[in-house]
Chains A and B, each alone.
Chain A
Amino acid sequence: MDKLHISVSPHIRSKISTSSIMLDVAISLLPAAIAGCIIFGLSALAVILACIASAVLAEFVFNVITKRTQTIFDLSAIVTGILLALNLPANTPLWQCVVGSVFAIIIVKCIFGGIGCNLVNPAMTARVFMIIAFANLSTPAYPLDAVSSATPLAELANGESVNILDLFLGNIGGAIGETSALALLIGGIYLLCRRVITWHIPVSIIASVFVFSFLLDGFSFTNALAWILSGGLFLGAFFMATDYVTSPATSKGKIIYGIGIAVITVLIRFYGNYPEGVSFAILMLNILNPYIEKASKRKLFGGKKYD
């Protein structure tokens, strides 16, 4: 008999791994991606593929050049690529997609030490970077069969009424993945069922935005509903804000974090210059996350006080 294998307990491990989690996230984004392709046509598919390919390639090349362990098989670069694409309008020039993906992977993630070490969400930060860097991105794409008009958020900000059903199905202007609340909800529920995420962050964000919008927008139930269904709130709440690396670990922390995102989102939407506040709100709370984590640590069971 060969020598016996020696290792430290435990000797069994759960089947869940980083790559299985990332695969689940990628699957959960499929409904939104498909909805985007139906609503906006083939140009949406081109943007999605360009973002995924450039994100994975950027990580591959970075790891080769810096002689680090190859990490593309953890699938996180694919998730970053899809998330970034879903945050971009379908008419984004492909070269801009590549610049954005490379920024997300290299500048936001790899330079800080790779997966798990980034301070802010790569896809989110790249989106904010692109909004600021490329002026053309502020005019959104519109559904294939629609007449060009303002985005629902702009309409809401101007006090106009919007069609709730269109908002829910996604038949409106905006980024590829943010228009169909229905598709995002399907993906979000998938993540909840697979226990990749817990309800705390999405529910606290969406519920708080609903309440704040209700209070600030004339106590109108319909308007409050429109505020939560538009502007990528579902995309942000289910898929971006729940990024493990940049969000708190405990339930308490998650709820504080979610409410924080809702507050900033609503403040930007109602009082800021940008019609859309979710990206900035998540980015800001990403930066505050270490402090929220510190404040929301679990109390040790029977732990001694060390001072």
Chain B
Amino acid sequence: MAFYLKGVKLPHRKNTANSPAVELPPVRQVTIPTSMHIGAPAKIVVKKGDQVFVGSLIAEAGAGLSSPVYSSVSGTVNSVAELLLSNGSTCEAVVIDSDGQMTLDSEIVPPQVNSKEDLIDALSKSGIVGLGGAGFPTAVKFKTDKQIEELVINGAECEPYITSDTVTMLTKADLMKDAIETLVKYFGIKKVIIGIEKNKPEAIANMQKMSSETSNVEIKVLPSVYPQGGEKVLVYHTTGKIIPEGALPIEVGCVVCNCTTIAEIGKYLKTGIPLVSKVVTVDGDAIANPKNVIVPIGTLIKDVIEFCGIKSEIAKVLYGGPMMGISVTDLDKPVIKNTNALLAFTKAEAKVPKTTACIRCGACTNHCPFGISPVAILKSYKANDYEGMKKAGALLCMECGCCSFVCPAKIPNVQNNKLAKLSLRNEPKKEVK
């Protein structure tokens, strides 16, 4: 590879890197949404009053791109409610009253995997989606006629604060190894590369130990430059391949999975327990005791952060890291499949700086991994120039936030790029003359 893509150096703030995950004490109620992944929402198969256990199917995969949803607690279905998601849309959610026993569903058995089809079927049934944040159903990534040359495992964890992937790499190396070996065996994957930022020496050492016990696994130590874990950035830095605009990694023969996704696959193959809980990093300057917590999916944010202690008044709460995380409207929102962190900030940290005029310093373009100019996108957006927006790279943008981070005029470049993308989605069809 000729060079590393650009990005920004961020404060790491990995306060929880050395804290092993602790179980959240049983909560009374969970709210499990049917839309925790990219694609169609799952269809609810339970009704009020039904008894469920940990791992019981509560919603089956919808048509097309989708993923099933399982109960994360044992107890009774309280109701089916409509839930406002953080992206502004709504979906159905199953509210379950927990009996506090966390009894495992007795029908759970490890899947029988003897062929590629079996494995894809198992992945579909596991309810596993991309746990790095995107929530793309994992089974769909592997359901391809193309030869998978490389499986790139994302252990970069480039966002500040978050250490849940670090915990995975430190404590679930055996599950990762099992999953990798099964995936390699049935999909004929030629090479497995785990990319890890160099600010996690213990995780790197543990992964190197794991790779020495199996074949075809390479550990790639990468500079701690955000957004190292961006899919296209990671694929380029680990394989040298460039994923074209608008294409999935499989176009260049790669499948990218987060390391926690891989560990979950290992767990499902071994035990048959679907994706029902997540390790969540709870941190931020409003949290008294930042730590990694094992949280049943559907647990409300307030239950999780109260467990870690609230130090001072909370002004802003994020799903995920500070660079790409989504701010939530209230603390009654649940932890979902792709929640890897909950960050609570005080007023001082939550303050949004005032925007001033662009001084054309070029920092946005110069720090963009892809060389996009947000200034050019905004200019075209304001003029409703659809071609201009596309040429400037609006659809290439992964919304990593480097451009907004570095801007001395504090211009919300990512927000502008998102608006441009939205307007391109609604682009009027050209009249045929």
> Which A residues lie at the B interface, using CB under 8 A?
1-2, 4-14, 16-18, 20-21, 71, 74, 114-117, 244-245, 248-250, 297-304, 306
Contacts and interface: CB of A to CB of B under 8 A. Distances in A.
Contact of B322 (A12, A14, A303, A306): A12
A249 B366 contact: yes
B348 to A, nearest CB: 12
Contact of B396 (A2, A17, A114, A303): A303
Interface string B282-323: 000000000000000000000000000000011111100011
B409 to A, nearest CB: 5
B279 interface: no
Contact of A18 (B245, B409, B418): B409
A298 B317 contact: no
A196 to B, nearest CB: 9
A11 B396 contact: no
B357 A17 contact: no
B327 A6 contact: yes
B369 A9 contact: no
B315 A304 contact: no
29 contacts: A4-B315, A4-B317, A4-B331, A5-B315, A5-B327, A6-B316, A8-B415, A11-B316, A11-B318, A11-B350, A12-B10, A12-B11, A14-B406, A18-B357, A116-B357, A116-B359, A245-B359, A245-B360, A298-B365, A298-B366, A300-B396, A301-B5, A301-B369, A301-B370, A302-B243, A304-B244, A304-B246, A304-B390, A306-B387
B85 interface: no
Contacts of B361: 21, 244, 249
Task: Name, among B315, B359, B415, B418, the residue most crowded by chain A CB atoms within 10 Å (CB to CB).
Answer: B359
A12 B372 contact: no
A244 B360 contact: yes
Given A297-B373, A302-B243, A5 B358 contact: no
Main secondary structure of the interface of B (DSSP, over half): loop
Contacts of A71: 356-357
B365 A302 contact: no
B243 A9 contact: no
Interface residues of B, number: 67
Given A4-B314, A12-B323, A13-B353, 17 more contacts: A5-B347, A6-B316, A9-B401, A10-B322, A11-B316, A11-B323, A11-B327, A12-B11, A13-B404, A14-B8, A18-B356, A21-B361, A249-B361, A249-B365, A301-B242, A306-B390, A306-B391
A291 to B, nearest CB: 15
B352 interface: yes
A92 B83 CA distance: 72
Nearest to B232: A302
Interface of B: 5, 8, 10-11, 160, 232, 236, 242-246, 313-318, 322-331, 345, 347, 350, 352-353, 356-362, 365-366, 368-373, 387, 390-391, 393, 395-396, 399, 401, 404-410, 412, 414-415, 418
A13 B410 contact: yes
Nearest to B246: A304
Contacts of A13: 353, 404-405, 407, 410
* 10 interchain residue pairs of minimum CB distance: A249-B362, A298-B371, A10-B401, A301-B370, A244-B361, A304-B245, A8-B415, A5-B316, A11-B322, A116-B357
Contacts of A20: 408
A97 to B, nearest CB: 25
A257 to B, nearest CB: 12
A71 B407 CA distance: 17
B424 to A, nearest CB: 11
Contacts of B410: 13, 17
Given A12-B160, A115-B357, A7 B316 contact: yes
Contacts of A4: 314-317, 327-331
Contacts of A6: 316, 327-329
Nearest to A289: B360
A302 B350 contact: no
A183 to B, nearest CB: 25
Nearest to A16: B408
A242 to B, nearest CB: 10
Task: Name, among B160, B232, B347, B360, the residue most crowded by chain A CB atoms within 10 Å (CB to CB).
Answer: B360
Contacts of B242: 301-302
B362 A250 contact: yes
Contacts of A11: 316, 318, 322-323, 325, 327, 345, 350
A115 B356 CA distance: 9
A17 B391 CA distance: 29
B358 A116 contact: yes
A8 B412 contact: yes
Given A4-B315, A115-B357, A249-B365, A9 B329 contact: no
Contacts of A2: 313, 315
Contacts of B359: 18, 21, 115-116, 244-245
Contacts of A21: 359, 361, 408
Nearest to A304: B245
A13 B356 CA distance: 14
B322 to A, nearest CB: 4
A8 B327 CA distance: 7
Contacts of B360: 116, 244-245, 249
Contact of B414 (A8, A12, A249, A298): A8
Task: Name, among A14, A20, A71, the residue most crowded by chain B CB atoms within 10 Å (CB to CB).
Answer: A14
Contacts of B232: 301-302
A9 B370 contact: no
Contacts of A116: 357-360, 409
B110 to A, nearest CB: 39
Contact of A9 (B325, B356, B390): B325
A8 B323 CA distance: 10
Contacts of A244: 359-362
